[in-house]
Structure 1
Amino acid sequence: MLLYALLGVAIGVLLPNQSAVNNRLRASVSTPWVMAVISFLVGTICLAVLTWATVGTVSFDATLFVTQPWWLWIGGLVGVVGMTTTVLLLPILGALYSTALNLTAQVITTMVIDHFGLFGVDVYRATSWRLTGALVVVGAALLAVLAGRARPQRQVAPSPGWYVIGIAVGVCFGIQVAVNGQLTGVLGSAIHAGFISFVVGTVALLVLVVITRSSLRITVPAAETHNPWWMWLGGLLGALYVTGVAFLSPLIGAAATVIVIQVGIIAGSLVVDHFGVLSAPRKPVQPLQVIGLVIMVAGVLIMYAPELFG
């Protein structure tokens, strides 16, 4: 189990790097939706090649649409809904509150899914060890986030409805973890499941780009002389992330997957911020952030205490 936890941390480290890459791509395109489409297209192409190489085909038995539940195919869609809603929500709630709501809702959602075996997942009861470990991880993650960001100052407080939407974003991402894990079991391949998820997400984003009539023009920001080659790699990192989550979720449960990945996300974020990786703004790591990361690791150990020390 500890090896799976370490794998989850490694998967989580990918996400902050993807964010840094996509932020640079965003500077060269007209809207966030165009950036997302490009990122998803790159990820879809990469996963198509990997699926063909490992499975021998990118298709699947069409009878699965009849024999399997309808929700099996919505992982990519709910992921896109969560992502696009986050983009709209950030200017209203700010990164601090958006992150807090998203993380808390993800953990609660996946805990409920695991405890009751929703979406056909294996049952992982919310024991006192798991609940305590999850609470410690969430609290420590919020400590790390709070230590690195100033409390937002607003002239007008957002309506309560926006906070509900922020929670709904976390619910979407929690459902995506469970659904893609089940799709992995049905297709027999996490790479194949990731490919299907990306195809669905790409189609949804293309529809959104058409509706918003976003320009597809690629430009070079005024302060730079050229676009770096690595700004196109966000989709590859996203593909690795989604595939890793789809692989890990059936093995340790949706909740444990989300929690160990959050440790990796915080660790990766601290590295990206401190060293200014991939042209990200440099923000020195604060002592409280390191303390928060250490406490997160302790929380994961608490979750696995019965297996490690029992």
Structure 2
Amino acid sequence: MEKWPLVLNAIVIGMAIAMQPIVNNQLKNYVQHPLQAALLSFSTGTVLLALLCAGMYFFGNVPLPEIASLQKGPWWIWLGGTLGVFFITASICLVTPLGPTTMLMCFIVGQLTASVIIEHFGLLNIPVHPLSGQRVFAVLLMIVAIMLITRRS
């Protein structure tokens, strides 16, 4: 399968993610607290997801998940939303003092670091991709990029 359409799709989604902290930070200016802004952000997303899932159920013949099936999963499958709270709230708080570019670069370095560790050990049921010098070098290049972006001219 050709991966370039997926890569381009991921880039476009990344562009949307770059806008999210800025939009949520502006929302915070009207509600006066980052947690309230995060709650409103999650609420609008939840409404959209509920509408999409209802449409898939009624018009796409996608069945509802079965409770028995959900109970078979590991405990940590329920942490996704919780982790999202940390991301959304941190991005609301950090986008102004760091700027969107530095903040997102720091998030990306954190994501890459965690990802190479998760893949190296096959954590969370992810296939193993051993740590290599090339992967370590890529993460180090991202750290250098942060240093260059934050360096005063």
* TM-score, with structure 1 as normaliser: 0.40
Deviations 1:16-72 (A, max 9, x none): 222232232222213222211111111111111112223546842111332110101
Instruction: State how 1:191-202 maps to structure 2 within 5 Å.
Output: none
The equivalent of 2:56 in structure 1 is 54
Tell me the SS of whatever aligns to 1:21: helix
The equivalent of 1:3 in structure 2 is 5
Deviations 1:172-223 (A, max 9, x none): xxxxxxxxxxxxxxxxxxxxxxxxxxxxxxxxxxxxxxxxxxxxxxxxxxxx
The equivalent of 2:125 in structure 1 is 120
The equivalent of 1:37 in structure 2 is 39
| Alignment-mate amino acid for residue 74 of structure 1 | L
For 1:136, which of 138, 141, 146 is the aligned residue?
A: 141
Q: Is 1:52–1:58's contact at 8 Å kept on the other side of the alignment? A: no
Q: Percent identity?
A: 27
Q: Is 2:120–2:130's contact at 8 Å kept on the other side of the alignment? A: yes
For 1:81, which of 63, 83, 86 is the aligned residue?
A: 86
- Alpha carbon RMSD of aligned pairs, Å? 3.0
The equivalent of 1:26 in structure 2 is 28
Q: Is 1:22–1:35's contact at 8 Å kept on the other side of the alignment? A: yes
Q: For residue 145 of structure 1, report the CA deviation from its aligned partner.
A: 3.3
Tell me the SS of whatever aligns to 1:75: helix
| Alignment-mate amino acid for residue 141 of structure 2 | V
Q: Is 1:113–1:121's contact at 8 Å kept on the other side of the alignment? A: yes
| Alignment-mate amino acid for residue 116 of structure 2 | M
Q: Is 1:115–1:125's contact at 8 Å kept on the other side of the alignment? A: yes
The equivalent of 1:63 in structure 2 is 68
The equivalent of 1:13 in structure 2 is 15
Q: For residue 104 of structure 1, report the CA deviation from its aligned partner.
A: 2.8
Deviations 1:266-286 (A, max 9, x none): xxxxxxxxxxxxxxxxxxxxx
Instruction: State how 1:1-310 maps to structure 2 within 5 Å.
Output: 1-56=3-58, 59-85=64-90, 90=94, 94-95=97-98, 99=103, 102-140=107-145, 142-143=146-147, 145-146=149-150
Tell me the SS of whatever aligns to 2:127: coil
Tell me the SS of whatever aligns to 2:128: coil
Structure with bigger RCO (C-alpha 8 Å, 6+ apart): 1
- Work out the CA distance in 2 between the residues paired with 1:22 and 1:2: 30
Q: Classify 1:30/1:66 alpha carbon distance in 2 versus 1 (closer, same or farther; 3 Å).
A: same
| Alignment-mate amino acid for residue 75 of structure 1 | G
Comparing 47-56 and 64-73, the one that deviates more: 47-56
Structure 1, gaps ≥5 residues long: 151-287, 289-310
Deviations 1:48-107 (A, max 9, x none): 11122235468421113321101011111122134435656x4xxx527x8365443322
- Work out the CA distance in 1 between the residues paired with 2:126 and 2:47: 29
| Alignment-mate amino acid for residue 44 of structure 1 | T
* TM-score, with structure 2 as normaliser: 0.74
The equivalent of 1:264 in structure 2 is none
Q: Is 1:103–1:138's contact at 8 Å kept on the other side of the alignment? A: no
